[in-house]
Amino acid sequence: MFFNGLSVSLIGVEGISGSQIAIVAVLGALGALMLIRTQRRLADGGPSPRAYAREQMGRLREERVVHDQMVEVAAEVQQVAREMSAQLDGKFIKLEKTLRDADERIQTLEAMIRRAEGKPKVDLTVSDESKPTLRTFTKADREANRARIFELADAGGSRAHIAAKLHVPAAEVDLVLSVRRMKEQAAATANS
């Protein structure tokens, strides 16, 4: 009671409770501590509140600049990705068209091969004068060529050697020798 009465008489205001005075005293003490702390910071060479605020604003500006740069870089990356995607799409379209053209050419060649079966072969040979000459192979020519291929193969000639010597494609040499092997196997199977 004494404390309560003393405080009321010191302040000169009646109707204030002791707890209210205690709260005001604690707030006053906190304010004094904050004031002392600020003064010490200034005395120690620490930043003043105003300098600290300026420093924080500078940092915020730097962060904003970095953020803006990051946004620009992200936009550029997206643009490059869109351009690369468009280029890839264009390349795929060209590739698909090229494949369709190749398929059409293959079909055309297959049709030409089917029509040409049974007709005499034509040999285009380029002479030293670079003028093509046409030579038609007859059935007798083909038989003589086969016999010569057999003869050179039986003598141990390689596919490349036989093709070069007879001026025929190596694939033709392979075909002729394969047909002969198949005929020989069929004859051996029939005799067994």
The per-residue pLDDT string of the chain (192 residues; one tens digit each, 9 = 90 and over) reads 444 444 444 455 566 777 788 888 888 888 888 888 877 766 666 666 777 788 889 889 998 998 999 999 889 999 998 999 999 999 989 989 988 988 888 888 878 777 766 665 655 555 555 555 555 667 788 888 889 999 999 999 998 899 888 888 888 888 888 888 888 888 888 887
pTM over 0.85: no
> What pLDDT shows up at residue 93?
92
> What pLDDT shows up at residue 2?
45
Q: How far apart are CA 29 and CA 155, in angstroms?
A: 119
Beta-strand (E) ranges in 38-180? Answer: 122-126, 132-136
> What pLDDT shows up at residue 1?
41
> What pLDDT shows up at residue 102?
85
> What pLDDT shows up at residue 140?
80
Cα 134 to Cα 114, 118, 121, 127, 165, distances in angstroms: 22, 18, 10, 11, 20
Q: How far apart are CA 34 and CA 30, in angstroms?
A: 6
The neighbouring-strand residues paired with 125 are 133
